[in-house]
Chains A and B, each alone.
Chain A
Amino acid sequence: MEITALKEKLKQQIIDYLNLIDVEPADLQEDSPLFGPDGDLGLDSIDSVELLVLLEREYELKITDPKEGRKVLIDVNSMAQYIIDNVEAK
């Protein structure tokens, strides 16, 4: 899987799953934190569940360990890398 194409696809999926209003894929910085005050989106705990559902439905990747989830849901880069590492490992 080519990571640049994956990131673009992932950005659109994040926008769709979280119903982000007035946000385009180009607006999502790949290294900008998804959560917390430093992020552009200001996501919260409900959004984290939505993103876990995204990974499960779109990539068949199920994260059940909260510690693992915190490492994956940092930014678009970390999510994409997690997908690359685990989809290819399957």
Chain B
Amino acid sequence: MYIIDMSCISAQDTYNNAIFEEGVKVQTEAQYWAVEPKYKKMIPLNLLRRMSKSVRMGVGTGIPLIDQFKDSLDGIIIGSANGSIKKSVSFLNQIVEYNEGTLTPTDFIQSTSNSIAGTLALMGKITGYNNTHVNNGIAFESAILDALLLFEEKSAKRLLLGGVEEISQANYNVDSLRGMFKDVVVDSTQLLDSNTPGSVSGEGAALFVVDAEPSEAAVAQIIDVAQIVHPTSAEVLAKAKLFLERNKLTTDDIDALFLGYNGNSETDHYYNELQENLFPTQAVYVYKNLVADYYTVSSFAVWLAANLFLGKKMPSEVIKKAPTKPTERILIYNHYEGTQHGFILMSRP
């Protein structure tokens, strides 16, 4: 499938693409908060006042694309593991606080992961396929697979596809207690070399208009996607090779890797071993030092890779190993906590 347009809200100035001209914002907190646009200009206040952050970011990212493509979109597919965890916690707390009495509907409506795709569909009057994938660290990969299958069975020609996640204090605290995040916060310039247990927490939304068929408008192709859970490093390498073989490619056909390094001393070895064993000469790009970790962060990697194909100059912070030849094919490899691993194969259209 082919990306013909895209939009992104992240901890960097990505909404207006300023990141490519003005550079990367250094993050100094344990949470990399999204830089949100002024929603009042694009979302009616009556809708905006009810929106959870994840819905706000998803709708804010999607509105420019919906405005342009709503008449031709056959459906919306979103990956969002948590939806609005903040609204979920608020809703659950009310059950206790008010002794299972009458509950406010807004928190419940806004808490679910599929509120994002639902709200976008209502705003754009898109009555076609509408689905949300919530399977944690491979939610966005699953959304891609859904889109690829729809295109393969010719059930759709054009889709809105994306990944959205928000930080909430509640899930940050819970995840911190189980050792998800680093005890000692380092700024984002030191993150990848920190080599300590845990990651940093991020949020964002990246949405894409994807077509089944190539056209002049295509900026990048998503060729295929693969997932594996709870693998050993050896199984990751085997999966990568099989994935490329399935697409009639070898490791030599890959020009660049986008890897989800996060400075976690317990799980970065997956990236090292993949790169050293299978792709020792290829360029390597990184992204979690820009936007931190979240379940659907691979959607940001796809956005970044598509911009590379568009000819945007990559910030020096994302280049771990510089390319020595033009980039025609990219392999994105991302895992969440070392448990859920996803591969996304992209190429120049």
Interface residues of A (CB under 8 A from B): 17-22, 42, 44, 46, 49-50, 52-53, 56-57, 62
Q: Residue A19 contacts which of B40, B50, B101, B109 (CB distance < 8 angstroms)?
A: B50
Name the residue on B nearest A55 (C-beta): B102
Q: Residue B105 contacts which of A20, A50, A57, A62 (CB distance < 8 angstroms)?
A: A50
Name the residue on A nearest B39 (C-beta): A21
Q: Residue A52 contacts which of B49, B50, B102, B109 (CB distance < 8 angstroms)?
A: B102
B105 touches A46 (CB 8 A): yes
Residues of A within 8 A of B40 (CB): 21
Assess whether B324 is interfacial by the CB under 8 Å rule: no
Chain A to chain B: the 3 pairs with minimum beta-carbon distance, closest first: A19-B49, A21-B49, A53-B104
A18 touches B49 (CB 8 A): yes
Q: Residue B102 contacts which of A18, A44, A53 (CB distance < 8 angstroms)?
A: A53
Residues of B within 8 A of A17 (CB): 104
Assess whether B18 is interfacial by the CB under 8 Å rule: no
Residues of B within 8 A of A53 (CB): 102-104
Name the residue on B nearest A20 (C-beta): B49
A50 touches B106 (CB 8 A): yes
- Chain A nearest CB from B72 CB (Å) reads 30
Residues of A within 8 A of B109 (CB): 46
State A46–B45 Cα separation when bound (angstroms): 15
State A53–B48 Cα separation when bound (angstroms): 21
Interface residues of B (CB under 8 A from A): 40, 45-46, 48-50, 98, 101-106, 109
Residues of A within 8 A of B48 (CB): 21
A49 touches B104 (CB 8 A): yes
Residues of A within 8 A of B46 (CB): 42, 44
Q: Can you spell out 25 A-B residue pairs with CB atoms less than 8 angstroms apart?
A: A17-B104, A18-B49, A19-B49, A19-B50, A20-B49, A21-B45, A21-B48, A21-B49, A22-B45, A42-B46, A44-B46, A46-B50, A46-B109, A49-B104, A50-B104, A50-B105, A50-B106, A53-B102, A53-B103, A56-B101, A56-B102, A57-B98, A57-B101, A57-B102, A62-B102
Residues of B within 8 A of A18 (CB): 49
Name the residue on B nearest A19 (C-beta): B49
Name the residue on A nearest B109 (C-beta): A46
State A53–B104 Cα separation when bound (angstroms): 6
Residues of B within 8 A of A20 (CB): 49
Residues of B within 8 A of A44 (CB): 46
Name the residue on B nearest A52 (C-beta): B102
